[in-house]
Amino acid sequence: MTKATEEVIGDCDFGRVVDGKLLAQPVWRLLTMSPQAAEGVASVLGVEPQRRLATSREQLEVVSEESSLRVLIKDPDRLTAQMKLWDSRGLAHHCDGSLFLSPEADAGHPCGCPPTMAERRARARRGQGPQPVTTLLFLLAGCPDVGSFRFRSSSWRFAETVEEIRTQLAAVGDPALCDLAIRTVEFTTQNGRCVSYHKPDLKVLGPWASRTAIDLAA
């Protein structure tokens, strides 16, 4: 188990539970087993924690009424992108886009995926290639002491930004203050059908220790 994994206090996604169903809405929800973490997060977000049953375990849910969160990211390694393909036998393909990550016998060997995300996406649409799994570990800027939350996304658009964001985080050189937001995308297809969906967006604002970053987090 890595140090980053040990720090995780809960999970984060977006949407709202209505009548027992998770609906896609531009609000953040944070889930944790820790009452102390839930109270700390709820205090910062100005809401009340709720109890939810998830995978046969009762968890505390905190739902922000905002579409963005100010978060602290310690270093570029807190943002990772992998590619996974599942079949009836389980995990059939697991790589970073260039090299296999598992199974152990294949780890480190070329995975055979195309070099560009556009080509990988086309293969995935045909059912011939893996899908992205982007993972972000972050601290909530208003209460960093409660521990790290984990956000996972299968968004191709988000995965396409990972290397650029990692470069920006490395350039900061210190823990970075960032804006984790939900963007609503709307467009009309060629046959006139209106399509709307939500996607995550991460923007690096600057060093956490700077006066500007502290003001932004307030």
Are the C-beta atoms of residues 204 and 168 closer than 8 Å to each other? Answer: yes
For residue 52, tell me if it sits in a domain.
Answer: yes
Identify the band that residue 6 occupies on the pLDDT scale cut at 50, 70 and 90. very low
Q: How many domains does the chain have?
A: 1
- Supply the pLDDT for residue 3: 42
- Supply the pLDDT for residue 53: 66
What ranges in the chain are assigned the alpha helix state H? 3-7, 35-45, 117-125, 156-160, 162-172, 211-217
Are the C-beta atoms of residues 137 and 150 closer than 8 Å to each other? Answer: yes
Are the C-beta atoms of residues 49 and 34 closer than 8 Å to each other? Answer: no
> In terms of pTM, does the model score above 0.85?
yes
Tell me the percentage of the chain whose pLDDT exceeds 90: 68
- Supply the pLDDT for residue 2: 39
Q: Per-residue pLDDT tens for 53-100? A: 666 577 899 999 889 999 999 999 999 999 999 988 889 999 999 999
Q: Per-residue pLDDT tens for 127-152? A: 889 999 999 999 999 999 999 999 99
Query: Alpha-carbon distance 167 to 161, whole Å?
Result: 10
For residue 69, tell me if it sits in a domain.
Answer: yes
Dihedral, 32, 60, 70, 184 alpha carbons, nearest 10: 110
The whole domain housing 140 covers: 3-76+134-217
For residue 63, tell me if it sits in a domain.
Answer: yes
The DSSP 8-state label assigned to residue 153 in this structure reads E
Q: What is the CA radius of gyration of the chain?
A: 18
For residue 200, tell me if it sits in a domain.
Answer: yes
For residue 101, tell me if it sits in a domain.
Answer: no
- Supply the pLDDT for residue 18: 84
For residue 122, tell me if it sits in a domain.
Answer: no
For residue 125, tell me if it sits in a domain.
Answer: no
Identify the band that residue 182 occupies on the pLDDT scale cut at 50, 70 and 90. very high
Identify the band that residue 5 occupies on the pLDDT scale cut at 50, 70 and 90. very low
For residue 87, tell me if it sits in a domain.
Answer: no
